[in-house]
Amino acid sequence: MIPYGKQFVSDEDIREVIKVLQSDWLTTGPKVAEFEEMFADFVGTRHAVAVSNGTAALHCIMYALGIRKGVEVILSPMTFASTANCVVFQGGYPVFADVEADTLLIDPEAVRSKITLKTKAIIAVDYAGQPCNYDALIDIAKQNDIYLIADSCHALGAEYRGQKAGSIANLSAFSFHPVKHITTGEGGMVTTDSFEFAKRMRRFRNHGIDADFRKREQQGTWYYEMIDLGYNYRITDFQCALGISQLKKLPQWIRRRQEIAQRYTRAFADNPAISPLKLRKDVSHAFHLFVVKINSKNIGLNRAEIFSALRKEGIGANVHYLPVHLHPYYRQNFANDIGDCPVAEDAYQQIISLPIFSAMSDNDVAAVIKAINKVTHFNALS
Ligand SMILES: *Cc1c(COP(=O)(O)O)cnc(C)c1O
């Protein structure tokens, strides 16, 4: 089975991890700071704060912004549940704004229509690895004096008008789960230009305590204070060693993902059953996912039938995502229902994510194309 996504860990990566395991620091040591600096450099922000996973990164952001009871945060429903969960962790109210049909990125006009006096932030999700319409979103954020947040967990290495994903919004979140562009096993990062936000998040990831153990050791002092309620969202030094080693290979990995996407796009161009999502003109797409819509009307087969036919052919297709507002938890606790985001709901009936990852071979790509042609009864030569 060719999976939809898969990590690549080299011998060099493994050596870097072992070095740290043999050193004095297993957690919150020099590798955390080194990874943060390298990441901030890559993305082009002043600060990067490393945490234990992408969900923790989003939670840190909500804390830094002061999201609390009585506050609303507008977000896209085409995302992983934790984008919304992080709002709820802090007592905020998630408000879902619909997406654009051709890209499945949050629709700025839908965002505008959801703004109230309680709105404090917008979370844009760079779905599949394509940056959102940031010019429009920045305008809305400025006009309403609210924060713009990017869930860029799909978009490490992507660019919007020449600017790297992670450097556009006030704060941006990344994940290093094994299916993402680079991995640390579990891991996450927040990028921001704000020193104040970075400071608050460093405290939040460490129980709300103002200095970490290493700093105390350097200062030769036993004293510490807990300033606010925080969590243990720390990442280990050996994970960061893996992250540093992986990040070095990211540019070539992105190029490989873009190459695979191009092959798919060309191969499906004449197939009436398959439509890849639209590529925006002003972006460099990082292709965490390659999402296609199944045009059921054109072939008389629905998404579920295509999905299981692909699985039978050994293609580990997947579906990203059931729109978050439709999860039972969000229906029961936040008065969401079918019909709230009709574009996302309609797209959900049609989408399939095809395998794409940096270590995918040309043979694997050809096998996916062949399987798609077979299950959609498309004769590529005709
Ligand atoms: C992966 C992902 C997350 C959560 O990251 P974890 O590291 O798994 O906690 C959040 N949002 C999006 C869009 C993601 O893809």
Give tens-digit pLDDT for 169-212: 999 999 999 999 999 999 999 999 999 999 999 999 999 998 66
**Residue ranges of the domains in the chain?**
2-247, 251-381
Predicted local confidence at residue 236, as pLDDT = 98
Model confidence pLDDT, tens digit, residues 331-354: 999 999 999 999 999 999 999 999
Task: Compute the distance between CA of residue 205 and CA of residue 32 in angstroms, rounded to an integer.
Answer: 13
Q: Which of 230, 290, 288, 204 is nearest to 254 (CA)?
A: 288
Q: How far is the CA of 197 from the centre of ligand 1 (A)?
A: 21
Whether the predicted model's global pTM rises above the 0.85 cut: yes
Q: How confident is the model at residue 367 (pLDDT cuts 50, 70, 90)?
A: very high
Q: How far is the CA of 174 from the centre of ligand 1 (A)?
A: 7
Pocket of ligand 1 contains residue 320 by CB under 6 Å: no
Q: Which of 75, 87, 125, 135 is nearest to 105 (CA)?
A: 125
Atom of ligand 1 nearest to the CA of 58: 10
Q: How far is the CA of 350 from the centre of ligand 1 (A)?
A: 22
Reported for 7-16, long-range contacts at CB under 8 A and 24+ positions apart, including other chains, are: 7/178, 7/179, 7/183, 7/357, 8/253, 8/357, 8/358, 8/359, 9/183, 9/242, 9/246, 10/245, 10/249, 12/245, 13/242, 13/245, 13/246, 16/241, 16/242, 16/244, 16/245
The CATH architecture one would assign to domain 251-381 is: Alpha-Beta Complex (3.90)
Catalytic site residue 180? yes
Segment among 87-101, 204-218, 221-235, 263-277 with least mean pLDDT: 204-218
The secondary structure of residue 100, as a DSSP letter, is -
Pocket of ligand 1 contains residue 125 by CB under 6 Å: yes
Predicted local confidence at residue 218, as pLDDT = 73
Pocket of ligand 1 contains residue 83 by CB under 6 Å: yes
Q: Where are the beta strands (DSSP E) in 193-289?
A: 274-276, 283-284
Q: Which of these is catalytic: 180, 199, 248, 374? A: 180
CATH class given for the domain over 2-247 = alpha beta
Q: How far is the CA of 201 from the centre of ligand 1 (A)?
A: 18
